[in-house]
A and B are shown apart, each in its own frame.
Chain A
Amino acid sequence: MKWLLNNWDQVLVALGQHIVIAFTSLAIAFVLSLFIGVWAARSERVYRWAIGLSGLLYTVPTLAFLAMLIPIVGLGRTNAIICMVSFSLMILIRNVAIGIREVPEEITDAARGMGMNAAEILARIEVPLALPVIVAGLRIATVTVISVAVVAAYVNAGGLGTLIFNGISNDHAAKIWVGALTACALSVVADLSLARLEGWLRHRAA
């Protein structure tokens, strides 16, 4: 506690870095998944391949993934971000594809009947209606990415993991507590806020 009071600025910097790398990775993964997911919603074969491959990436242990990237991209944020994007792809692609598939055909048919073209139907009908499912995916992906980002400190990507690793190597329990609990709190807060958003979107859709 005393350590926290004296070093709160250090904790805030770590928290800020953590949020920045997590958010960057999520943004990249989200854009990629939107494209792949829309494509996968139209074709069963693409869906199987996309989920198969991204599922493979998802199963690789975090630290092993970060380690295998070192010979290729070295240490640092790039490494961490590639790893985090890879980890969130499966969840996001799956939810985008499922969300779009679940849009009732009568609705898209009606839109077509009103003279909308494929792009308009996608942007104004399918994606908005799929949004609750997409946000549900985003929620799981966010929690995953925050968790991966803790480990990413080991490849010099910064963030809350730095406090934990310093604490472990200096046998400084307070640092470990602060780093770990802040990471847990960030995860829980992100999860709950996105759950709120998801609930609100579902409510609005119904």
Chain B
Amino acid sequence: MLLLEAWQFIVEHPARFRDALVTHIALSAVALACAIAIAVPIGVWLSGHRRAALVAITTANIGRTLPSLAILALVMPVLGTGFLPSAFALTLLALPPILLNTYTAVRQVDPDIVDAAKGMGMERRQIIARVEIPLAVPVIFAGIRTAAVQVVSGAVLAAYIGGGGLGDFITAGIAMMAMPQLLVGAIPATLLSLGTDRLFGRIQQVLTPRGLKAA
């Protein structure tokens, strides 16, 4: 019954639902893209700089323990409300898993393979691009997957700081104790999150080099 009413709400407010869904996806995509653009290069760089790595990894580990709502809430007094502050907070949320996985991924590349590449006459740059990165990609992508799910889930909370998205229906639904409206936000947000996990899991499989799958 409740589900039917929720569906009715979507049918009656198609534009509102579409806007929220689009905002939600845009918010998540922007944040994830920024986080990848920042964390992957830094992670790769850190793998060659031990001392800097220690500081960065410790910071990232602490960052990973911070509650997502706390991060969103802390951004608000500084940057205000709206789409960009929310995207910024979600980017912060996505950085630690990607950074940690990138660092671990590059460090875990078998030194023997790197030696072999060196023996074949590859330069440092070629080794990074053609040996280390392809071997590290599956692990890096595992981090991206974790971050993606976190960001899509976290974007629900963006409603609190005026970021829009599906969370708007949930907060409005709770405020008015309107169950159907609450589900209009909650169910699609859940599906989006599960879908993201699936999608990235699939990509992760495709990106795993054939040589590693056999092992």
Interface residues, chain A, with chain B CB atoms under 8 Å away: 56, 59-65, 67-68, 70-71, 143, 146-147, 150-151, 154-155, 161, 164-165, 167-168, 173, 176-177, 179-181, 183-184, 187-188, 190-191
Contact = CB atoms under 8 A, between A and B. Distances in A.
A48 to B, nearest CB: 15
A61 B182 contact: no
Contact of A187 (B67, B167, B187): B67
Nearest to A67: B186
Given A68-B183, A161-B69, A151 B174 contact: no
Contacts of B66: 147, 184, 187-188
Contacts of B64: 143
Interface stretch (B41-49, B128-136, B189-197): B189-197
Given A146-B67, A173-B77, 5 more contacts: A61-B186, A63-B156, A63-B170, A64-B166, A177-B74
A68 B186 contact: yes
- Between B67, B149, B166, B193, the greatest number of chain A beta carbons within 10 A of the residue's beta carbon is seen for B67
Contact of B173 (A67, A143, A191): A67
B214 interface: no
Contact of A155 (B174, B179, B183): B174
B34 interface: no
24 contacts: A59-B197, A61-B152, A61-B190, A63-B186, A64-B153, A64-B170, A64-B186, A67-B170, A68-B182, A70-B174, A71-B2, A147-B65, A150-B67, A168-B161, A177-B74, A180-B67, A180-B69, A181-B70, A183-B69, A184-B65, A184-B66, A184-B70, A187-B65, A188-B65
- Between A61, A71, A181, the greatest number of chain B beta carbons within 10 A of the residue's beta carbon is seen for A61
Contacts of A65: 186, 190
B86 interface: no
- Between A64, A68, A147, the greatest number of chain B beta carbons within 10 A of the residue's beta carbon is seen for A64
B193 A60 contact: yes
A56 to B, nearest CB: 7
A26 to B, nearest CB: 15
Nearest to B71: A180
Given A61-B156, A64-B156, A56 B2 contact: no
A168 B73 contact: yes
A155 B71 CA distance: 19
A182 B193 CA distance: 28
B157 interface: yes
A184 B167 contact: no
A10 B194 CA distance: 38
A168 B160 contact: yes
Contacts of B57: none
Nearest to A174: B77
Contacts of A70: 174, 179, 182
B179 A143 contact: no
Nearest to B161: A168
Nearest to A195: B61
Contact of A59 (B161, B183, B186, B193): B193
B179 A183 contact: no
A179 B190 contact: no
B76 interface: yes
B143 interface: no
B215 interface: no
Contacts of A191: 62, 65
